[in-house]
Amino acid sequence: MNRSDALTIRLTGKTDDVPVASFLRVVEETVKALRAVANRDERQPPPRMRWDVIGASKQSPLSLTVAPRSAADHSAAARRLIQGVRGVEQGDVLPPGFSLQALRSLRCAVGVLDDGVESIEFEAGGEKVTATDQFRMNATRIVLRTLRVHRVRTTMRGILDTLTVKGDVPVFFIRDRLRGRNVACRFSRDQLDEVKAALGSRVAVWGQARFSKEDDPTSIKVEDFRILPSMDQTIRLDQMTSVDITNGVDPAEYIRRLRDGE
């Protein structure tokens, strides 16, 4: 399915297979980056736009195509992401219209080049770009130059698995099972009942986050949070309905017709 607002992600494994954790990490961080580049005001939470899977291929390279459910305000997000990746590949300057939040997410996604992935390619609107180690190095330089500002508004996702009180401040922790990190989330007592109801659930937390010198999030002051579907409820590639590109024609007959020019 060809849509100008769609983004295709292609992963090539170092072997014939792509690790599941690496695939999930790239998809999650790429969607976070798409939301970030669609956000016109970084002081506000990214728009809660829904990105749907509209195509997939389990052949090498493994590919997934996503598109916004509502294209009204987000039709340019995929193209801006492509332009941002290309800009950072070429130099260590943050491209116009490409936020630090989007850069952090894609830098995290490209980290899978150390974890069973040979290459990551993005395509949108007929434009393609490959994110390489050069992107990661340039992104790191950009981020390091901003470390004197240790806080940034962002969204974090994970399992809400601990609730406690530090002094007079209630705190819960979210655990990211893909990267094994725990982030302290300070919240208002007005949200206590809502937080208790979310214990054990996967949540998305928006607010002012603090990052370590290694650019890892350590804490966040909660401004907004919501419960997400569990990972078990998300779409699995082996459960996806096949994309019918032959319009019901037997595949062998379809290939024969293409070969014969029919």
Considering the domain architecture, whether residues 173 and 122 belong to the same structural domain is answered as no
- For residue range 153-212, what is the model confidence (pLDDT) as tens digits? 888 888 998 898 877 889 999 987 666 678 999 999 889 999 999 999 999 999 988 877
Q: Select from 126, 145, 164 the last residue of a domain.
A: 145
Query: Where a domain ends, among 123, 145, 167?
Result: 145
Question: Is residue 45 domain-shared with residue 127, that is, in the same domain?
Answer: yes
pLDDT single digits (tens) 135-156: 999 998 888 877 654 677 888 8
* pLDDT tens figures, 80-111: 999 999 999 999 888 888 888 899 999 999 99
- 94 within domain boundaries: yes
Specify if 139 maps to a domain.
Answer: yes
Instruction: Please indicate, yes or no, whether residues 159 and 137 belong to a single structural domain of this protein.
Output: no
Residue that terminates a domain, selected from 145, 161, 180: 145
Domain CATH number, residue 164: 2.40.50.140
By the 8 A CB rule, do 9 and 64 touch? yes
* pLDDT for 237: 52
- Shared-domain flag, residues 163 and 184: yes
Q: Which of 151, 51, 49 is nearest to 100 (CA)?
A: 151
- Report the Cα 94 to chain-centroid distance in Å: 19
How far lies 114's CA from each of 2, 23, 117, 170, 172, in Å?
32, 13, 7, 37, 31
**Better pLDDT: 139 or 246:** 139
Say yes or no: 22 and 140 in one domain: yes
Domain span at residue 191? 151-233
- 76 & 99 share domain: yes
Q: What pTM does this model have?
A: 0.60
Per the DSSP assignment, residues forming a β-bridge with 56 are 64
The predicted pLDDT at position 171 comes to 94
Q: What is the pLDDT of residue 131?
A: 95
Residue 252: the pLDDT is 60
Identify the pLDDT of residue 63: 92
| pLDDT over 60 (residue 68) | yes
pLDDT above 90: residue 76: no
Number of structural domains found in the chain? 2
pLDDT tens track for 10-54 = 999 888 788 889 999 999 999 999 988 887 555 566 566 788 899
- Confidence label for 66 from pLDDT (cuts 50, 70 and 90): very high
Give a yes or no: residue 249 inside a domain: no
Confidence of residue 242 (pLDDT cuts 50, 70, 90): low
Question: What is the average per-residue pLDDT within 234-239?
Answer: 51
Do 38 and 130 have their domain in common?
Answer: yes
**CB of 120 within 8 A of CB of 131?**
yes
